[in-house]
Amino acid sequence: MNGLILIDIQRAFDAARWGDYWGARNNPEAEANAGRLLETWRKRALPVFHVCHHSTNPASPLYGADGQGFHPAVEPLAEELVFPKSVNSGFIGTDLEAELRAAGCDAVTIAGLTTPHCVSTTTRMAANLGFDVTLVHDACAAFTQNVDVAWRGGQMPSAEQIHDAAIDALSVEFATIRATADLLG
């Protein structure tokens, strides 16, 4: 059984709401693509798992109810499980692994925000826990705020470069990388 894990697709990442807090972004269609995945999983009666970040930092857009709400494209149904977290991994401090196993999942498909942080960490852990992982690259996104190159005096990479580097690092060893259209046919 293949469970869909949607990671941190929340209102806090909406630039219209929060301005430049996160910096430049790639893949403006990530939420819509995640919504297409969610619609397909629901139609096929496959298990869906929503992970959401609840920051402990009062200065973060992910702190408090306004930013913590889900993006409308992936709003959970009452019967779908939601796993709040305050760290990068959807598995730490949650029952996500136990619920995946209880649902009979031996495989997971992952989408969400942000690619180099919570998506990457959750993808790595899912693979390490023995799940067969598919990561949907165009249902994920990164921001320039995700990196700091001052330590090496480097030039700031674009959000697309940050996203691509994170996806590249996950390919082969941790996940099979797919596009939404290819996965859904």
The mean of the pLDDT values for the chain is 94
Percent share of the chain, pLDDT over 90: 78
CA distance 13 to 16: 9
> Is the pLDDT at 111 greater than 80, yes or no?
yes
> Is the pLDDT at 44 greater than 80, yes or no?
yes
Per-residue model confidence as pLDDT tens digits over 145-157: 878 788 888 888 9
Residue range of the domain that includes 150 = 2-183
CA distance 110 to 37: 10
Q: For the chain, give the longest Cα–Cα distance.
A: 50
Q: Could you tell me which residues are beta bridge partners of residue 50?
A: 6, 82
pTM of the full structure: 0.95
Q: What is the mean pLDDT of residues 112-121?
A: 97
Q: How many domains are contained in the chain?
A: 1
> Is the pLDDT at 30 greater than 90, yes or no?
yes
In this structure, what CATH number is given to the domain that contains residue 50? 3.40.50.850
